[in-house]
Amino acid sequence: MDNIIAEKRVLGIKKEFLDSPDIITKNIDLGKKKMSIIFIDELCNQEEINRSIIFPINRFIEKDFTLEELQDEIINFCNAEILEEKDIENKILRGFAVLFIDGDNRALGFNTVMYPGRGVEEPPTSTVISGPREGFTETLKINLSLIRKRLPSKNLKVEEIVVGRRTKTRVNLVYFNDIVDIKVVDEIKKKLSNYDIDGVMDSYYLVKFLENKPNSIFRQVGNCEKPDIACAKILEGRVVILVDGTPIALTIPYIMFEDFQSSNDYYSDAHRVSILRIIRVLGLFISIFLPGMYIALQLYHYKVLPLKFLVTIVNTTQNLPLNPFLEIFFIIVLFDILFEASVRMPKYLGMAISIVGALILGDTAVKAGLVSPPGVMIVALSAITVYIIPNQSSQISLLRIVFAIIGGTLGFHGIILGMLFLIVYLCNFDSFSTPYLAPYTPYIKGDLKDFVLKDSLTTMTSRPESIPNKNKTRMIRKEKEDAKDSNN
Amino acid sequence: MQKTVTTRQLIFILVISVLTLKVLFLPNVLATNIGRDGYIFLFFMLFMDFLVLLMLLYLMNKYKDKTFYEMLESMVGKIGAKIIMFLLFLYFLTRCWTRFQTSFIYLNENLYTSFDWYIFAFPILIVVVFCVMQGIKAFARLSEFFVPVIIFGFLVAFIVGVVRADFTNALPFLENGLNFMLSSHKYSLWFGDYLILILFFGRVKMDKKFNLKVILSMLSLILIIATFYAVFYFTYNYNTVCHINAISDIMQFLPSVSDIGSFDWILILIWDIALFLDLTLNTFAAVFAFSQVFTKKGSAIVATIILLVILLINYLLNFNVFMSMLIFRDYLWYYNVLVQGGIPLLLFIIGLCKRRKKDEVPVAQ
């Protein structure tokens, strides 16, 4: 043991790290004891290292001590731990400062991590009118603290898994131990352990590992960017997956109707929320079926149109060079091009693109007689309603085109067949033992309180049955309990 | 056997099976052949069917954890079971055929001015086969998804009819006596819907009041269907024969303004869904019966073959829908009556006898 020299070990490690200039080493000579410290410059808080580690040690010149004494008595640093040789490299890579002393093959690791990162902000995709505005960040520790802050319970369990051979990304499963169905947790762990990928850049990588049907266009894993939503889902018996380096948390199990619910719904009047949810459902139907139905009406079923509407359409479409199907398809493609361009353009150009797209291209196309005003209106309405349910926008955009094609080739009957095809597919689409279309089918009466027509919070006394859980009781009405006691 | 279908889903499936054709084309057929008192006839026939339901429910309760085929094996042996399943397969094949034809007539009459057989047939074939591939659990959920919409649409039409009907048209009561009852066998094509239950033996999560729920809902349905016919006839009286699609025609009376247009096409679309569900349900039953007799693998392949056979029959009949209907009415009714009434009655009696034997054992001991 005496021939173990700290300085040599540190140099060896630095060599293993290919002599990178950001690997900082420092030797400390205390006379009787020699020691060396190593850390990665960008990941550590140097001020903390100087103040909490090097400065206290320097006060103990000419004294002999062990690693344990150093940890417990000399350096009063709460995030210090003794590391075995096999863990040392990993800890350095995670932003630990590691201290070696002569004569000991172990080391002392100090958590001095200071990643560069942004602060807690309101997420751009989940803005709210009322309710908390905090959003997750790219730092796992902050995200976990945002959840812990809201759920201060000893039953809140956090399990850490490392995914990615090279990125060694930390993934945390967060759930209530006394609520969650442990089979769901086991299934998640099993699915994550099935893949040995080199790097995980975002939680979306894990989504594909977790899905039963990874090639499907439909989401099987939920996501959220706000800690209040994540906590509500944990309370319902779901598992929240936090991935280091991304502000998007994953939630499992997932049901389709989740995307019709907004966090605002829980901080607003139930009646108003019910109306908004009806509009969202209507929006979904408009966005998927309206272009297809408009084409089908013009090509096959013009008899069902009211006379005034029919006259308007005939007047505006009679001189068009394109048939209704090609006209609508042309506008959809035009709109998607504009959308893609405006998303990718720098912000200051985005506005200009919108003006060019909406005013110049759209207006000119109508005036040039390429497309009709009702056609533009139909596609514009359908395109806007896609974003009523932002989490489903990619699927809806795709289905809109599919149903436009079906409407153009088969008419209403084709649209009905397509809808049946789609829904029977979704009926057989369970996510972690949870039916995808619950609570509508299979019908779960208790869960309808938070379906399209939202009930008051006071009536939601039990957790959703559609989410597997082992503790059904969410709320007890004390008045009732007291009345029972007095009767007894 | 996994219990994958809930009581509610089963009731909805029965609603689809019983309701779909009874309120679409049957009222016109009855109005043409029977007339004013058709509702009595309809009520009688539906009640006869209801007796079949009771027999099947008895068997379902008795053999809770067995599939229909397993129950048959325990009752009549393996060969007997295969013969019965083969008879049922042919029965459901003919039902698929009628549903297929009805869908075509329906779309041609109501939605399209001219409709190509191939454009209609192949997409429907693909979607039916896809449904069969998804399994009975997914189909039960699909029914649960749409049947509330179908019931709502039907009730709207029913209420509109009730408001418009002239109930004095009920008189004279039994103007032609009860002679029409003699021809009841010729309408067997339109009945025998509860045999679809063979699919659900051993698969239903039975509620506490399972029997009561099923019986009450089916009794209500029978009453509503018979009343709907009466309302339909009392609305149009002697002109009823000119109204082929009852549910759509009755919706013409819905108050509407020219700015919004008529709503009956929404009901037409809803009934397109109902017809599809009915066709798929019968295809499921045919595939199930066929699989028990010949092979248990590849339900999608079996469903495709069944539907292609139907297409081939249509091709041989030169796609003459009305001719195929006549063949049904004049020749296949013998077979229908045998399967619809005979098989459930036979099984019910065997089930009863088995019970008695079981009851006798402890006495002998």
**What are A441-487's pLDDT values in tens digits?**
899 988 888 888 988 888 888 899 989 888 888 888 776 666 666 66
| B138: chain A residues, CB-CB within 8 Å | 424, 427-428
Q: Do B145 and A435 count as a contact with CB atoms less than 8 A apart?
A: no
Provide the token pair at A384.
Answer: 């806007």
Kindly report the nearest CA distance between residue B134 and chain A, in angstroms.
6
The tens digit of pLDDT for each residue in B208-229 reads 899 999 999 999 999 999 999 9
Strand ordering across the sheet containing A239-243: A156-163, A169-176, A239-243, A249-252, A222-224
The answer to pTM > 0.90 is no
DSSP helix/strand/coil, A479 = helix
Kindly report the nearest CA distance between residue B267 and chain A, in angstroms.
12
Kindly report the nearest CA distance between residue A443 and chain B, in angstroms.
8
Among the partner residues A304, A423, A425, nearest to B265 by beta-carbon distance: A304
A399 has pLDDT over 90: yes
| B213: chain A residues, CB-CB within 8 Å | none
Q: How far apart are the first and last CA of chain A?
A: 74
A133 has pLDDT over 70: yes
Banded model confidence at residue A171, pLDDT cuts 50, 70, 90: very high
The tens digit of pLDDT for each residue in B33-59 reads 888 888 888 999 999 999 999 999 999
Among the partner residues B9, B111, B126, nearest to A411 by beta-carbon distance: B111
Residues linked to residue A160 through DSSP beta bridges, in sequence order: A172
Q: Do A300 and B258 count as a contact with CB atoms less than 8 A apart?
A: no
The tens digit of pLDDT for each residue in B61-112 reads 999 889 999 999 999 999 999 999 999 999 998 888 888 888 888 888 888 8
pLDDT of residue B365: 42
pLDDT of residue B259: 56
pLDDT of residue B188: 78
| B135: chain A residues, CB-CB within 8 Å | 428
Q: Please, what is the average pLDDT of chain B?
A: 86
Distance in angstroms (rounded) separating the CA atoms of residues A116 and A137: 11
The tens digit of pLDDT for each residue in B247-299 reads 878 877 776 655 556 677 888 899 999 999 999 999 999 999 999 888 666 78
Banded model confidence at residue A181, pLDDT cuts 50, 70, 90: very high
Q: Which helix (H) or strand (E) holds A99?
A: strand A96-101
Mean pLDDT confidence for A132-158: 92
Distance in angstroms (rounded) separating the CA atoms of residues B135 and A154: 44
Q: Do B142 and A421 count as a contact with CB atoms less than 8 A apart?
A: no
Q: Do A428 and B8 count as a contact with CB atoms less than 8 A apart?
A: no
| A437: chain B residues, CB-CB within 8 Å | 141, 145
Distances in Å between the Cα of A81 and the Cα atoms of A108, A292, A336 are: 6, 64, 55
Among the partner residues B9, B111, B130, nearest to A301 by beta-carbon distance: B111
Residue A115 contacts B where some CB pair is shorter than 8 Å: no
- Best of B13, B128, B145 to disrupt the A interface (most A CBs within 10 Å) is B145
pLDDT of residue B181: 74
Sequence-ordered alpha helix ranges (H) in A345-461: 347-355, 363-367, 373-386, 393-427
Residues linked to residue A462 through DSSP beta bridges, in sequence order: A473
Distance in angstroms (rounded) separating the CA atoms of residues B283 and B92: 7
- Torsion on CA atoms A295, A300, A303, A307, rounded to nearest 10: 30
Q: Do A413 and B112 count as a contact with CB atoms less than 8 A apart?
A: yes
Among the partner residues B9, B111, B131, nearest to A413 by beta-carbon distance: B111
Report the number of secondary-structure helices (H) and strands (E) in chain A. 17, 10
Report the length, in residues, of chain B.
365
Q: Which of A265-274, A340-349, A393-402, B216-225 has the lowest mean pLDDT?
A: A340-349
**A162, A210, A170: which is closest to A190 by C-alpha?**
A210
ipTM: 0.91
Q: Read off φ and ψ for residue A75, nearest 5 degrees.
A: -100, 115
| B139: chain A residues, CB-CB within 8 Å | 424, 427
Please count the residue pairs, one from chain A and one from chain B, whose beta carbons lie less than 8 angstroms apart. 88
Q: Do B134 and A427 count as a contact with CB atoms less than 8 A apart?
A: yes
Give the rounded percent of residues in chain B with a pLDDT score beyond 90.
44
Do B236 and B243 contact (CB within 8 A), yes or no? yes
Do A175 and A220 contact (CB within 8 A), yes or no? no
Distances in Å between the Cα of B300 and the Cα atoms of A424, B58, B287, B288 are: 15, 31, 9, 11
Q: Do A410 and B123 count as a contact with CB atoms less than 8 A apart?
A: yes
The tens digit of pLDDT for each residue in B127-181 reads 999 999 999 999 999 999 999 999 999 998 899 889 888 888 877 777 777 777 7
| A425: chain B residues, CB-CB within 8 Å | 130, 134
B361 has pLDDT over 60: no
Report the length, in residues, of chain A.
488
B9 has pLDDT over 90: yes
Among the partner residues B142, B144, B261, nearest to A306 by beta-carbon distance: B261
Cis peptide before B27 (omega within 30 of 0): no
Do B268 and B103 contact (CB within 8 A), yes or no? no
Provide the token pair at B175.
Answer: 């103007």
A346 has pLDDT over 90: no
Placement of tokens 């410059």 in the chain: A41
Q: Do A307 and B145 count as a contact with CB atoms less than 8 A apart?
A: no
Provide the token pair at B338.
Answer: 């045998």
Banded model confidence at residue B124, pLDDT cuts 50, 70, 90: very high
Interface of A with B in 354-413 (CB under 8 A): 410-413
Mean pLDDT confidence for A84-102: 89
| A433: chain B residues, CB-CB within 8 Å | none
Distance in angstroms (rounded) separating the CA atoms of residues A66 and A8: 19
Mean pLDDT confidence for A187-193: 92
Q: How far apart are the first and last CA of chain B?
A: 33
- Best of B8, B9, B103, B111 to disrupt the A interface (most A CBs within 10 Å) is B111
Kindly report the nearest CA distance between residue A325 and chain B, in angstroms.
18
Q: Do A425 and B130 count as a contact with CB atoms less than 8 A apart?
A: yes
Among the partner residues B113, B127, B258, nearest to A421 by beta-carbon distance: B127
Give the rounded percent of residues in chain A with a pLDDT score beyond 70.
95
Do A456 and A483 contact (CB within 8 A), yes or no? no
Banded model confidence at residue B363, pLDDT cuts 50, 70, 90: very low
Among the partner residues B120, B259, B265, nearest to A308 by beta-carbon distance: B259
Q: Do B111 and A443 count as a contact with CB atoms less than 8 A apart?
A: no
pLDDT of residue A416: 95
Go through the domains of chain B in sequence order and give each one's CATH number. 5-364 (1.20.1740.10)
Q: Which of A291-300, B313-322, B327-336, B355-364 has the lowest mean pLDDT?
A: B355-364
- In this structure, is the dihedral angle defined by the CA atoms of residues B17, B21, B26 and B27, taken in order, positive or negative? positive
Q: Give the rounded distance of the alpha carbon of A309 from its chain centre.
A: 44
pLDDT of residue B174: 75
Q: Do A435 and B141 count as a contact with CB atoms less than 8 A apart?
A: yes
Placement of tokens 């082929």 in the chain: B244
Give the rounded percent of residues in chain B with a pLDDT score beyond 70.
91
Provide the token pair at B246.
Answer: 């009852």
- Best of B127, B130, B146, B203 to disrupt the A interface (most A CBs within 10 Å) is B127
* Cβ-Cβ contacts under 8 Å for B346 (sequence gap 6 or more): none
A231 has pLDDT over 80: yes
If phi over 0 gives left and psi between -120 and 50 gives alpha, with beta otherwise, what is residue B298?
left
With CA atoms as reference, the chain A residue closest to B110 would be: A301
